[in-house]
Amino acid sequence: MTRDRRRTRVVRPTRLSVRDAADEAVAAVLARPARAALTVLGTLVGVAAFVAVLGLTATTSGQISKRFTALAATEVMVEDAPADPALADPGFPPDTEVRLTRLNGVEAAGVHWEASAGTDGAEAEVSARPPSVRREPGEPLTVVAASPGYLEAIHATVGSGRLYDTFHQKEGQRVAVLGKAAAQRLGITRLDHQPAIFIGDTALTVVGIVEDVRRRPETLLSVLVPSSTAALLWGEPGGAEGRPAKVLIETRLGAAQLIGGQAAVAIRPDRPERLKVTAPPDPRQLRDQVTTDLGGLFLALAGICLVIGAVGIANTTLVAVLERTAEIGLRRSLGARGRHIAAQFLSESAALGFLGGLAGTCAGVGTVVAVAVARDWTPVLEPLTVLPAPLVGALTGLLAGLYPAWRASRIEPVEALRR
Minimum CB distance to other proteins smaller for 54 or for 342: 342
Among 125, 331, 343, 372, binds other proteins (CB under 8 A): 331
Build a one-symbol-per-residue string for 177-216: x at contacts with other proteins by CB under 8 A, - elsewhere. ----------------------------------------
By the rule CB under 8 A, 346 interacts with other proteins: no
**How many whole angstroms separate alpha carbon 284 and alpha carbon 263?**
21
Cα dihedral 294/298/299/303 (nearest 10): 170
- Taking the complex as a whole, how short is the minimal distance between the CB of residue 8 and other proteins, in angstroms? 9
- Taking the complex as a whole, how short is the minimal distance between the CB of residue 412 and other proteins, in angstroms? 8
**How many whole angstroms separate alpha carbon 344 and alpha carbon 325?**
13
* CA 409 to each of CA 44, 47, 229, 313, 341: distance values in angstroms, whole numbers, following the listed order: 28, 29, 92, 18, 5
**How many whole angstroms separate alpha carbon 47 and alpha carbon 389?**
7
Angular region, 12: left φ>0, alpha ψ -120 to 50, beta rest: beta
Build a one-symbol-per-residue string for 288-327: x at contacts with other proteins by CB under 8 A, - elsewhere. --------------------------------------xx
Interacting stretch for other proteins, rule CB under 8 A, among 23-31, 164-172, 345-353, 380-388? 23-31
Q: Which amino acid is at 72?
A: A
Q: Which amino acid is at 241?
A: E
By the rule CB under 8 A, 34 interacts with other proteins: no
- Taking the complex as a whole, how short is the minimal distance between the CB of residue 386 and other proteins, in angstroms? 34
Contact 237, 145 (CB under 8 A): yes
Mapped onto helix, strand or coil, the DSSP state of residue 53 is: helix
- Taking the complex as a whole, how short is the minimal distance between the CB of residue 316 and other proteins, in angstroms? 16
By the rule CB under 8 A, 414 interacts with other proteins: yes
Minimum CB distance to other proteins smaller for 163 or for 330: 330
CA gyration radius for the chain? Answer: 37
By the rule CB under 8 A, 374 interacts with other proteins: no
Minimum CB distance to other proteins smaller for 24 or for 114: 24
- Taking the complex as a whole, how short is the minimal distance between the CB of residue 1 and other proteins, in angstroms? 14
222-226 and 139-146 strand pairing: parallel
Minimum CB distance to other proteins smaller for 27 or for 373: 27
**How many whole angstroms separate alpha carbon 96 and alpha carbon 92?**
6
- For 337-374, letters b (16+ CB in 10 Å) and e give ebebbbbbbbbbbbbbbbbbbbbbbbbbbebbeebbee
- Taking the complex as a whole, how short is the minimal distance between the CB of residue 312 and other proteins, in angstroms? 22
By the rule CB under 8 A, 18 interacts with other proteins: no
Rounded to 10 deg, the angle between the 41-70 and 283-323 helix axes is 180
Among 62, 131, 159, 413, binds other proteins (CB under 8 A): 413
**How many whole angstroms separate alpha carbon 184 and alpha carbon 189?**
7
Interacting stretch for other proteins, rule CB under 8 A, among 147-155, 210-218, 221-229, 330-338? 330-338
Among 234, 340, 348, 401, binds other proteins (CB under 8 A): 340
Minimum CB distance to other proteins smaller for 129 or for 337: 337
How many other C-beta atoms can be found within 10 angstroms of the C-beta atom of residue 161?
20
- Taking the complex as a whole, how short is the minimal distance between the CB of residue 379 and other proteins, in angstroms? 41
Contact 43, 363 (CB under 8 A): no
* CA 142 to each of CA 122, 199, 276, 368: distance values in angstroms, whole numbers, following the listed order: 9, 10, 24, 49
Angular region, 411: left φ>0, alpha ψ -120 to 50, beta rest: beta
- Taking the complex as a whole, how short is the minimal distance between the CB of residue 384 and other proteins, in angstroms? 36
By the rule CB under 8 A, 15 interacts with other proteins: yes
Minimum CB distance to other proteins smaller for 276 or for 337: 337
Interacting positions 157-176 with other proteins (CB under 8 A): none
Minimum CB distance to other proteins smaller for 3 or for 12: 12
Among 333, 373, 378, 387, binds other proteins (CB under 8 A): 333
Residues near other proteins, by CB under 8 A: 9-16, 19-20, 24, 27, 31-32, 326-327, 329-338, 340, 413-414, 417
